[in-house]
Structure 1
Amino acid sequence: MIMEQTLTAEERLTLKTGAFGAVFLVSNADPGVLALVRESFAASGALADASGVVKEALTTGPLPELPRDSELEIESVVLPALTRAMAILRDKSPRDTVTYREVVLAAADRVARAHRGVTPAEVAAIERIRAALAQPA
């Protein structure tokens, strides 16, 4: 039997950086003030659906600091954080890997659908997120 292990503050921040960063990456793919408000509500609903270790990681501690200058800079932080988050969960709480993947992808999808339909840029961002979640670390 695999025992669930407590995550460190750094590991929780990695999970949060990946999840919140994925939302930011999709939101940033089709920017706009009204879209941002709708997308924030949509994402919060999906992230609130988390449970167990994932919920604890996403709802405690400081918010992650994400770059805001360019999509490439955002991706350079967010995508590795997603891959690392999956590795952390595989190591410390394997049953939560599916929860994390599903919550992140649901939040990204809700953000994309929140304002005037899904754009090709949002689809591309979600595919990069999906690929990062599938990568072995």
Structure 2
Amino acid sequence: MEQRLTDDEQQVLKTGAFGAVFLVSNADPGVFGMIRESFAASGAFAEASGLVKEALISGSLPRLPRDSALEVEAVVLPALGRAVDILRAKSPADLSAYRDLVITAAEQVARAHRGVTPPEADAIDRIRAALTGPA
């Protein structure tokens, strides 16, 4: 049975999803690449539905650190783990859709400019691990 998410819970899902894209995009930075990558992420997020879509489109964009990749990772990966816990508790039917959406967005961002580089692949692996952590 699906339960409504609180504003804070929606922000966690949003921080995880948008943060994952940001993490991959920053793994191999470049101005022109970032433009292509943002379009790729938008396309993936447009496929969201239900509770996940509501979380991604409501409220403000998440505030992510911009000083270092390690700081971004320290915020994003725990947010992904918390998002999994939230969906497992409140809407288990949406958990797989959230995981798939985040991984798809991250992969599309990585492929959007010059193909997937090793740093981007490493970022995707860390995202995948955060999403599939302890069951």
Q: Same fold (TM over 0.5)?
A: yes
Counterpart of 2:130 in structure 1 is 132
Q: How many residues align?
A: 135
Structure 1 residues not aligned, in runs of 5+ = none
Q: Which runs of 4+ in 1 moved over 2 A?
A: none
TM-score of the aligned structures, taking structure 1 as reference length: 0.97
One-letter identity of the residue aligned with 2:2: E
The Cα of 1:135 is off from its aligned counterpart by: 1.4
Distance, in Å, in 1 between the alignment partners of 2:121 and 2:133 is 19
Using the TM superposition, give the Cα deviation of residue 136 of structure 1 relative to its aligned residue in structure 2, in angstroms.
3.2
- Out of 64, 74, 85, the residue aligned to residue 87 of structure 1 is 85
Residue in structure 2 matching 1:74, options 72, 75, 78 = 72
Aligned to 1:108: 106
RMSD of aligned C-alpha atoms?
0.8
**Quick one: which amino acid aligns to residue 74 of structure 1?**
V
Structure 1 residues 83-134: Cα deviation after superposition (integer angstroms, max 9, x where no partner): 0000000000000000000000000000000001110000000000000001
Deviation string for 1:12-40 (max 9, x for gaps)? 00000000000000000000000000000
Cα distance in 2, alignment partners of residues 5 and 13 from structure 1 = 16
Aligned 8 A contact 1:83 1:136 in 2: no
TM-score between the two structures when normalised by the length of structure 2: 0.98
Query: Structure 2: where are the runs of 5+ without partners?
Result: none
Alignment partners' CA distance in 2, 1:54 and 1:48? 11
